[in-house]
Structures are given as C-alpha cells and as structure tokens.
Amino acid sequence: MTDGAVKEALDRGKLVIEGFEAACLRGTSYDVRIGSQVHISNSEESITFDDGRKTARLQPGEFALLITHEQFKVPLDMAANIGPKTYFTRKGLILLAGLQVDPGFKGALALAVFNSSPKTIVLEHMQEICSLQFFQLNSAATVAPPVNRELEQGRIPRVDKDYFRELETQSLTEVGKDLRNLAANVSQLTENVQTLSNRLTENVTTLSGNIDQLRQSVAELRSYLVYAMIPALLGIALVLLGVAFQLFFR
C-alpha cells in the first residue's frame, strides 16, 4: 500500500495507528518509534523513559527488548511486514522480530534487538526503530491472532521480560576484558617460565663449575698421593734390600 492508501484507511477508521505521526508516513511504509519501555538482557528491571530518562545504552553483544510507541489495530483484510531501519543496521544493530504483523493484530509491537557491533549503541525514546509496509489482502482472514492484554496496554509482556532475565549473555566488552586478562596471565606465565629457565641455567652452570672444581681437586689429590707414596715406597724397598743383604751374606 502507498502512503495515500494507508492515509485513506486511517481516515476511514479501517486501520488504526494510535500515536500516529504524519512525518513517519513514507511512500510505501510507516516508521515505527521506540516506546516508553526498554529491557536489556542481564537486567532485572526495565528502563522506563517516562521517568525522565531518554536513552538506553546497549553494549556490544547485548540484547534488548523494547515496546513501540505506536499501537496498531489491523483489520482482518490487511497485514504488514516489519523491516529494519538502515540507520541502525549500518551501526550493527540486528532487529529480531517476526516478519509479519498478522491480520486482526491489536496492540504495540514488542521488538528484540541485538548489538552485533564492537561499539555501544544508544537507543533513544521516540527514535524510529523499524518500518511497517502494509498490504491489502484479497479477502479477509478468518483467524485473528490471540489477544495480548499487555501489548494492548503498551507494555512489554511479562513472559518476554522473564525470559530476558534468565538469558545469560556476555557482552563483547566483557569478552574483551576476559581476553585481555587471559593475555596478561599468559604473559605473566611466560615471564615466570623465563625466570625459572634462567635460574635453572644458572644452577646448571654453577653445578658444572662445581664438577670441574671437583675434578681438579681429585686430580690434585691423585698427584699428591703419587708424590707422597714415592718416599714410602723407596723406604720399603731399602728395608727389603737390607733384609735380603743380611740373608745373603749370613
């Protein structure tokens, strides 16, 4: 549907967009804005922009669940496709949502997003987060989606928030810190191994010197013993010669 067809459906009351802003209506789509609640993974409480806060910071690797400002009442003979905004996709924000808004849907949209970039992404209240492209069906659908009272009231469903509380994620910032700590530990281990290697080399060198000194001492002792035994052997020889002389001339 073109902007004119969407505007006509709004004027007739066939299609209802609560919180409609004419500036958000494009040639073939309508830009949907971030509503009053954002829930970031690993957080216990949702961020409520009505409290005066206007931004939420999504760290690298974190998920967020948000509610749209607009609420929709789609007739049974219309449907809409959800598309991401290139402003955010260029920043690395991935929109995690069903492709289609079903015929008969009533309420705000609950959208999940993921920061796949290495930088923090700031989500602002009333910022355009996605676009809806409406389609006129050939005939009315016979089955409407289940009614979700929380979405009709413009609130993030409790079941989704409970899931996000249980969702354990580790941001890329935390991963980077862990990698830096691991690198520091490896560097420290390398230094310790190098210190141990140096000490071992010193000990081996010292032991080698001691062995050389021991060899020298043994050699000196051997020489000493040889020189010390010569007089004793000469004395013994003289004694034996004297005994032999006496026996021979007796």
Q: What is the pLDDT of residue 201?
A: 83
Evaluate if pTM is beyond 0.85.
no
Measure the CA–CA gap between 60 and 186, rounded to whole angstroms: 25
Per-residue pLDDT of the chain (250 residues; tens, 9 = 90+): 999 999 999 999 999 999 999 999 999 999 999 999 998 887 777 888 876 778 999 988 889 999 999 999 999 999 999 999 999 999 999 998 888 999 999 999 999 999 999 899 999 999 999 999 999 999 999 999 988 898 888 888 888 777 766 665 545 455 556 556 666 677 777 788 788 888 888 887 887 777 878 778 777 777 776 666 677 667 776 776 776 667 666 5
Q: What are the extents of the domains in the chain?
A: 3-169, 170-250
Can you tell me whether residue 21 is helix, strand or coil? coil
CB atoms under 10 Å from CB of 68, counted, come to 23
pLDDT of residue 203: 82
15, with CB counted inside 10 A (0-12, 13-18, 19+), is buried
- Note whether 73 and 106 are within 8 A (CB): yes
Antiparallel, parallel or unpaired: β 100-101 and 121-124: unpaired
Neighbours of 74 (CB within 10 A): 25
* CATH superfamily membership of 3-169: Deoxyuridine triphosphatase (dUTPase) (2.70.40.10)
Q: What is residue 202's predicted lDDT score, i.e. its pLDDT?
A: 83
- Asked if 111 and 164 count as a contact pair (C-beta separation under 8 A), the reply is no
